[in-house]
């Protein structure tokens, strides 16, 4: 390791990979160091449930080819953290105590699991988070056909964990304080539809309920129920990991505040990924949108700008494609305005949220085909009176656009 790098990236996830590729798209020469707390090259975090399910493996979970860092002239410091940022002195202090100088730095530290202070949690021996590859490997080691698993949290992480392990264990109970599953992205009817589908497996739910206290192998729920388990998975929620920037005096809200260039309020300090808060174009408000597409795109923009180019990341919005046992939910944007809702002949649920002549958000369950057309309508703020509204309401098709608009979208390089 050198004492100075032109570019330092704190983190080694997908936002970091985007940053590396953004830098190299603009600057072929400058030195790059990535500080990686995890001892693995960049992998697709959301793939850890597929790994447990056997739908991918250790080799294919890697986000980039083996020669990625070498090809990009990027050094990686595995198993180390950045403990402090000295923005004025343009140095970062590592967990080894060493200080490294930088020209530009990108904070891509992601998020940390949030664990509520459950009474007696320390008495539970087999307890894990479900965030990292090491978490997944540790969980895999513990599982047996006899395992009873309690998952605290019926959000995306908890439910994908349940899907990933359900064929390998005896039973799974998922508990959440919220009255429905996937409460951050679905309403009651949609959530109920998916819940009934998931309950066909050996998965049951305790909703509107949480643990009052734990003993080893036992959760005493607020409702009075006692859940006996062999393994406890804590997937209650995550918090943006903002400490480096906050402690250095940078602007932090729920996430690290960045502009459309991915610059923080500190000079030469950029940030990207799950640790940042940026503008949700569908609602016009600042939000932490911890999803992989935003991590990559934000990281790439940060990298270009760090290397002296110009790249804006100004079209972030929430969007989630999430499937359970073959049933897919596609959601994007913000659920505000008038809701055009209909059930398809196939039982699918379709919801379009319209305000001020614009599509603001949608939920589709059971009919994922070509939903990106709707994502485009939100992102590009296409006036709905410029398209065929009846076609728009019924099906995701390019025929909803006018002849001229189609010519523009399909007649040249896009």
Angle at 315 between CA 312 and CA 317, to 5 degrees: 140
Minimum CB separation from another protein for residue 125, in Å? Answer: 32
Q: Which is nearer to another protein, 177 or 373 (CB)?
A: 373
HSE toward the beta carbon, residue 354, CA cutoff 13 A: 15
- Nearer Cβ to another protein (46/286): 46
Residue number, 219 or 304, with CB nearest to another protein: 304
DSSP class of 262:
-
Nearest distance from residue 25's CB to another protein, in Å? 11
How far apart, in whole angstroms, are the C-alpha atoms of residue 226 and residue 142? 22
Would you say 136 or 211 has its CB closer to another protein? Answer: 136
| CB of 332 vs another protein, minimal distance in Å | 7
The C-alpha atoms of residue 145 and residue 236 are separated, in whole angstroms, by 25
Could you give the CA distance from residue 257 to residue 207 in angstroms, rounded to a whole number?
34
Toward another protein, which CB reaches closer, 284 or 411? Answer: 411
Q: Considering the complex, what minimum distance in angstroms separates the CB of residue 283 from another protein?
A: 18
Say how far apart CA 228 and CA 202 lie, in whole Å. 15
| Cα-Cα-Cα-Cα dihedral sign, residues 400, 402, 406, 408 | negative
Instruction: For 80-117, give the DSSP string.
Output: --EEEEETTTTEEEETTS-EEEEEEEEE---EEE----
**Under the rule (CB under 8 A), what is the footprint of another protein?**
14, 17-18, 42, 44-47, 50, 55-56, 60-64, 292-293, 296-297, 300, 319-323, 328, 330, 332, 368-373, 375-376, 379-380, 388, 391, 396-400, 403, 406, 409-414
Residue 246: CB minimum distance to another protein, A = 28
Q: Whose Cβ is closer to another protein: residue 285's or residue 398's?
A: 398
Q: Can you name the residues that pair with 349 across neighbouring β-strands?
A: 343, 365
Please give the Cα distance from 250 to 253 (Å, whole number). 10
By beta-carbon proximity to another protein, the closer residue of 288 and 378 is 378
H helices of 248-349, in order, are 292-306
Length of the chain, please? 414
Strand 91-94 and strand 111-113: the pairing is unpaired
- Least distance CB 127 / another protein (angstroms): 26
Task: Name beta bridge partners: 86.
Answer: 91
Least Cβ distance, residue 311 to another protein (angstroms)? 10
Closest among 103, 23, 68 to 268, alpha carbons compared: 103
Specify the residue for token string 């699991």.
113
* Least distance (Å) between residue 43 CB and another protein: 8
Residue 329 near residue 181 (C-beta atoms within 8 A):
no
- Closer residue to another protein (CB): 4 or 410: 410
Nearer to another protein, 285 or 397 (CB): 397
**Residue from 147, 160, 197, 174 nearest 56 by CA:** 160
Nearest distance from residue 61's CB to another protein, in Å?
8
């Amino acid at each position: 390791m050198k004492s100075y790098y032109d570019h330092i990236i704190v983190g080694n996830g997908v936002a970091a990979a985007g940053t590396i590729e953004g830098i190299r798209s603009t600057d072929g020469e400058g030195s790059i160091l990535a500080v990686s707390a995890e001892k693995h090259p960049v992998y697709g975090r959301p793939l850890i449930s597929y790994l447990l399910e056997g739908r991918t493996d250790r080799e294919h979970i890697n986000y980039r080819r083996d020669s990625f860092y070498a090809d990009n002239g990027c050094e990686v410091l595995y198993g180390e953290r950045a403990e402090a940022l000295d923005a004025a002195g343009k140095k970062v202090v590592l967990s080894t105590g060493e200080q490294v100088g930088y020209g530009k730095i990108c904070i891509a530290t992601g998020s940390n699991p949030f664990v509520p202070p459950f009474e007696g949690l320390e008495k539970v021996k087999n307890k894990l988070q479900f965030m990292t590859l090491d978490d997944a490997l540790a969980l895999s080691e513990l599982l047996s056909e006899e395992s009873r698993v309690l998952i605290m949290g019926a959000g995306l992480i908890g439910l994908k964990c349940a899907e990933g392990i359900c064929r390998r264990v005896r039973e799974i109970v998922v508990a959440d304080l919220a009255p429905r599953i996937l409460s951050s992205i679905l309403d009651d009817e949609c959530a109920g539809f998916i819940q009934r589908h998931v309950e066909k497996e050996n998965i049951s739910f305790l909703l509107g309920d949480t643990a009052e206290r734990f003993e080893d192998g036992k959760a005493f729920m607020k409702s009075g129920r006692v859940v006996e388990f062999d393994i406890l998975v804590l997937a209650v929620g995550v918090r943006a990991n903002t400490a480096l920037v906050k402690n250095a005096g940078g602007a932090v809200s729920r996430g690290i505040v960045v502009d459309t260039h991915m610059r923080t309020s500190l000079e030469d300090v950029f940030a990207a990924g799950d640790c940042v808060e940026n503008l949700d174009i569908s609602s016009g408000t600042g939000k932490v949108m911890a999803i992989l597409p935003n991590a990559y795109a934000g990281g790439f923009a940060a990298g270009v700008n760090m290397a002296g180019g110009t790249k804006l990341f100004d079209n972030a919005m929430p969007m989630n494609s999430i499937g359970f046992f073959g049933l897919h939910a596609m959601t994007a944007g913000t659920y505000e305005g008038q809701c055009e809702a209909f059930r398809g002949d196939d039982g699918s649920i379709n919801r379009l949220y319209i305000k001020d002549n614009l599509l603001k958000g949608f939920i589709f369950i059971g009919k994922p085909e070509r939903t990106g057309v709707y994502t485009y309508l939100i992102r590009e703020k296409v006036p709905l009176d410029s398209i065929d509204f009846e076609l728009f309401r019924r099906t995701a098709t390019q025929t909803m656009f006018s002849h001229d608009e189609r010519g523009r979208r399909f007649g040249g390089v896009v």
